[in-house]
Amino acid sequence: MTFYASFGDKFRANIGAVAAMRRDVGLAAGLVLAVRLVISFTRNQLSYGRDRLYDIRTGVDTVHDRGVGAEYPGDVAHLDGEYYERVTKSDFKRVMRRAQVPVQDFTFIDLGCGKGAALLLAREYGFQELVGVEYNARLADIAQKNLATLRSGGEESPFVSVITADACDFSFPDAPSLVFMYNPFGRATMDVVLGNLSRSLTESPRPVVVVYMNPVHAEALDQCAALERVAGEPQHQTLGRRLRRLGHRYGGIDWVVYRATTG
Ligand SMILES: C[S@@+](CC[C@H](N)C(=O)[O-])C[C@H]1O[C@@H](n2cnc3c(N)ncnc32)[C@H](O)[C@@H]1O
């Protein structure tokens, strides 16, 4: 994920990207990218605005948070974690429509749950249980508080747990699950997580669906024998990797859904 010190920096970076696209791929690709960046920017600002209003109205805190280096545990297996950026409600709804799982039998697991925005949204779907895994203790604490705030406001909620841990150390429960990831970490951690998931599926075959938003490391899942891709295409595939990488800056644009081959 790329963060910019100011709007000006971001604007200049995007102008540079459009110029590079025009030079490397052609004028049409440069124009497509420019239009796409404007649409994405507008759409995301509206979406973030709506989510911020939700925070204010309900008293929770899910705003983006870069944290500080010292907050990140020193004993993680691989230091390739991304900063906290929340999934927007509109992107979450869009991908959940495509995941199509019988939620009442499923556990929702968010690997890298941050302040718990996806858990808060998943509460409304009727999952049997919700589990968040977050290695930054401060963010995990905020996620707990957010869930408690909604509960104290009288909202019904399924059983929810937020586990403060490195995703590499997480043991997948022996239950039908929807594993949600919003670009939480790099390839090294992803490989460990997929190894753990594959072993768990071999020991206990069951329905598991993996929803991966902003799927920077989709290749790792494509290569995982325990999973098969059932929906989603990183956008702009035809225009190449550079466009796809640019899409990631705006978050939640691309998504892919996999299901366990053993379930
Ligand atoms: C892009 S945010 C996604 C937040 C949340 N899933 C959502 O959709 O709103 C990625 C989160 O993953 C966490 N993270 C990164 N590496 C991790 C790891 N190895 N174990 C657990 N959490 C991790 C980060 O601290 C951050 O909060």
Cα 85 to middle of ligand 1, angstroms: 8
Nearest atom within ligand 1 for CA of residue 65: 27
Q: E strands of the chain, at which residues?
A: 107-111, 129-134, 159-164, 177-182, 208-213, 227-231, 255-260
* Residue of 55, 40, 12, 75 whose CA lies nearest to 243: 40
From 72, 75, 78, 85, mutation site for ligand 1 pocket: most ligand atoms within 8 A of C-beta? 85
Q: pLDDT at residue 251 above 90?
A: no
pLDDT, residue 18, reads: 87
- Angle, in degrees to the nearest 10, between helices 89-99 and 27-58: 100
**Nearest CA owner, ligand 1 atom 26:** 84
Cα 60 to middle of ligand 1, angstroms: 18
- Structure-token pair, residue 97: 């429509």
Q: What is the mean pLDDT of residues 114-134?
A: 95
Nearest atom within ligand 1 for CA of residue 181: 6
Q: pLDDT at residue 242 above 90?
A: no
Q: What is the mean pLDDT of residues 128-134?
A: 96
Domains belonging to the chain, first-starting first, are 7-58 (no CATH), 69-260 (3.40.50.150)
Q: What is the mean pLDDT of residues 113-123?
A: 96
- Structure-token pair, residue 56: 């204010």
Mean pLDDT, the chain, integer: 85
Q: Ligand 1 pocket: which residues have CB below 6 Å?
A: 76, 81-82, 84-87, 110, 112-114, 117-118, 133-136, 139, 166-167, 182-185, 189
pLDDT, residue 221, reads: 97
Nearest atom within ligand 1 for CA of residue 86: 9
pLDDT, residue 154, reads: 65
DSSP secondary-structure letter at 141? H
- Which amino acid is present at 252? G
Calpha distance 30→82 (Å, rounded):
28
The pTM (predicted TM-score) of the whole model is 0.84
Cα 202 to middle of ligand 1, angstroms: 26
3 versus 130: which is more confidently predicted?
130
Number of C-beta neighbours around residue 121 at 10 A: 23
Calpha distance 54→48 (Å, rounded):
10
pLDDT, residue 11, reads: 77
Task: Please report which confidence band the pLDDT of residue 148 belongs to, taking 50, 70 and 90 as the band edges.
Answer: very high
Calpha distance 144→151 (Å, rounded):
11
From 131, 134, 180, mutation site for ligand 1 pocket: most ligand atoms within 8 A of C-beta? 134
Nearest atom within ligand 1 for CA of residue 76: 19
47 versus 146: which is more confidently predicted?
146
Q: pLDDT at residue 253 above 60?
A: no
Q: What is the mean pLDDT of residues 102-112?
A: 96
Task: Please report which confidence band the pLDDT of residue 243 belongs to, taking 50, 70 and 90 as the band edges.
Answer: low
Calpha distance 24→241 (Å, rounded):
12
pLDDT, residue 98, reads: 87
**Nearest CA owner, ligand 1 atom 10:** 184
* Residue of 179, 188, 177, 178 whose CA lies nearest to 216: 188
pLDDT digits (tens, 9 = 90+) for 155-199: 666 789 999 999 999 999 999 999 999 999 999 999 999 999 999
pLDDT, residue 231, reads: 87
pLDDT digits (tens, 9 = 90+) for 189-231: 999 999 999 999 999 999 999 999 989 899 999 999 999 999 8
pLDDT, residue 2, reads: 47
- Structure-token pair, residue 177: 């699950």
Q: pLDDT at residue 259 above 70?
A: yes
Nearest atom within ligand 1 for CA of residue 78: 19
- Among left, alpha and beta (phi > 0; psi -120 to 50; other), residue 154 is left
- Among left, alpha and beta (phi > 0; psi -120 to 50; other), residue 260 is beta
pLDDT, residue 246, reads: 52
**Nearest CA owner, ligand 1 atom 2:** 84
Cα 19 to middle of ligand 1, angstroms: 32
Q: pLDDT at residue 262 above 60?
A: yes
- Structure-token pair, residue 244: 């796809």
Cα 132 to middle of ligand 1, angstroms: 10
Residue carrying the six token digits 């920096």: 9
pLDDT digits (tens, 9 = 90+) for 37-92: 888 788 778 878 888 898 999 999 998 887 766 677 778 889 899 989 899 888 89
Calpha distance 157→18 (Å, rounded):
45
- Angle, in degrees to the nearest 10, between helices 27-58 and 7-24: 150
